[in-house]
Amino acid sequence: MSRVAVVTGAGRGIGAAVVNQLAGDGWSVVAVDICEDLPGVPYPLARREDLAALAAKWPQVRDFVADVRDPGAMRDAVALAESEFGGLDAAVGAAAVMAGGKPLWETEDGDWDALFDTGVRGVFNLARAAVPALLRRPEPRAGRFVALASAAGHKGLWHLAGYNAAKHAVVGLIRGLATDLRGTGVTAVAVSPGSTRTSMLDATAALYDLDSVEEFSQHQLVERLLEPEEVAAAVCWLCDEKASAVTGTVVHADGGFTA
């Protein structure tokens, strides 16, 4: 029987890469994305056709348009996984947005709210919905909860203090969740990417008035931008039953950004 996952932020970028890799490995997946633009987010988000393309590509993927800021929507996504596929084995919180571009003392409420409502409260809402389902699996369990943090969760970034704070919060949430899950067989881990070739990185370059996202590559030991599939490989390994020794910590899939 295939393992089952719910993945948020699945419309594009790292989230879509996670869905593709899990499905390619035989997982059944509920792929979740809001598929609309948000106040305070200065760039377009994924569209319904992006999410639908995943479901069209993989017969065992269900596209589910939902807002991670809505606890009920996250419960509905988990309920779909259980009703359609018989249970839940992993939840991946990849939904996040970029906002900022000013010193902290000039940061507007809308920017701060956008960062925390999607990037932190969204992970919180997913955890509240998914963990009970992971614990409903019979023992010995091998449930996995993985959240996307960032190199910004470990290192200050110029004019992105709000984003720094949100990603630090994700790391703290994961450490606390893993401690609450002690002895259950369910693990909780954060993955912190470096500069990855996504729409969010394009938005970051725009905040910095950069001519090209390639300028971010100079901060990484690999001397290039990462591809979403590289980060997704770390996430998908952590979803595997074999990753049972890794919990309450961070996997730095950052190309050496924080070295």
- Whether 163 is a known active-site residue: answer yes
Q: Which two three-digit tokens encode residue 108?
A: 């507007």
Annotated catalytic residue within 112, 163, 216, 257: 163
Specify the 3-state DSSP secondary structure of 85: helix
Please answer whether residues 141 and 87 qualify as being in contact, where contact means their C-beta atoms are separated by less than 8 angstroms.
no
Q: Which amino acid, one-letter code, is at 204?
A: T
Spacing of C-alpha 90 from chain mean position:
12
* β-bridge pairing 4-8 and 187-193: unpaired
Q: Which residues have C-beta within 8 Å of that of residue 92, sequence separation ≥ 6?
A: 5, 6, 7, 8, 15, 18, 146, 147, 148, 235, 239
- Furthest-apart CA atoms within the chain: distance in Å: 53
CA distance linking residue 141 with residue 108, whole number of Å: 44
* β-bridge pairing 187-193 and 90-93: unpaired
For the chain, strand residue ranges (E) read: 4-8, 28-33, 61-65, 90-93, 144-148, 187-193, 249-253
> Hey, which residues are catalytic here?
163
